[in-house]
Structure formats: structure tokens, C-alpha cells
Amino acid sequence: MTEGIEHAGKLKAQLAAAADKTKDTIDSAREPIADKLLGAADRLRARGDRLPRAAAGVAQGTADRLEASATYLVSNTVPQMLEDLLSLVRENPVQSLLIAGAAGFLLGRALSRD
């Protein structure tokens, strides 16, 4: 019985270490990703000026969303983003399930091609 408890304790410690490592990885990637999103927004705006009016409006709207995403990444911590994600899943369970299924399908296809 004590072996099971010890094993469970070790497993819990390993999971906590993995969670911390994942959090650190996400934290270190937030600013570079935000910079890339801002760069993409700037490029869209620059090219949008040369597009027809309707396409320029779409490009501007997309650039605004990219910029908002970059701001969100920089101004929120990983726990805050996780809580926001969980709230979205709770509010939209069917859509969340469909998105997760599609992402799993695409990931599976991408990995099976190797």
C-alpha cells in the first residue's frame, strides 16, 4: 500500500514539474509570438493600401485582430489565459468539442505523414 502512495506522490511531482516546464515554455514564447503578430499586422496594413476597397477593409480588420491578439498575449499571464480558455469552453462546449476534434484530426494527419 505504501508503495502505491509513494508511486502516486512521485507521479504527482512529475506532473507538477511538467506543468511548470510547459508554463515556462509558453511564458518565454509569448513576446516573440506577439512580435510576429504585430509584424504581420503591419505588413497587412501596408499591403492593404494597394488593394481594392473591400479587400483593404478585410485586411485592416484582420490586422486589427492580429494586433489585439498580440496585446492579449503580452498583457495576460499563462494562468489568466488558461482561465479565459476554460471560460470559453464552458460557454461554448459544442464548438469547443468540434474545434478540438478538428485540431486532433489535423495533428494526426500531420504526424502520420512522417
| Number of domain units in the chain | 2
Q: Are 30 and 74 in contact (CB under 8 A)?
A: yes
Q: Are 59 and 48 in contact (CB under 8 A)?
A: yes
Closest to 76 (Cα-Cα) out of 31, 17, 22: 31
Same-domain status, 48 and 87: no
Q: Structural domain of residue 101, as residue ranges?
A: 77-114
Same-domain status, 63 and 99: no
CA contacts within 13 A on the Cβ side of 38:
11
Q: Tens digit of pLDDT for each residue in 26-63?
A: 888 889 999 999 999 999 999 888 889 888 899 999 99
Same-domain status, 70 and 84: no
Same-domain status, 70 and 81: no
Same-domain status, 54 and 101: no
Please tell me the predicted confidence (pLDDT) of residue 68: 96
pLDDT at 7 > cutoff 80: no
Local confidence band at 98 (pLDDT 50, 70, 90 cut-offs): very high
The residues near 40 (Cβ < 8 Å, ≥ 6 apart) are 63, 66
pTM over 0.85: no
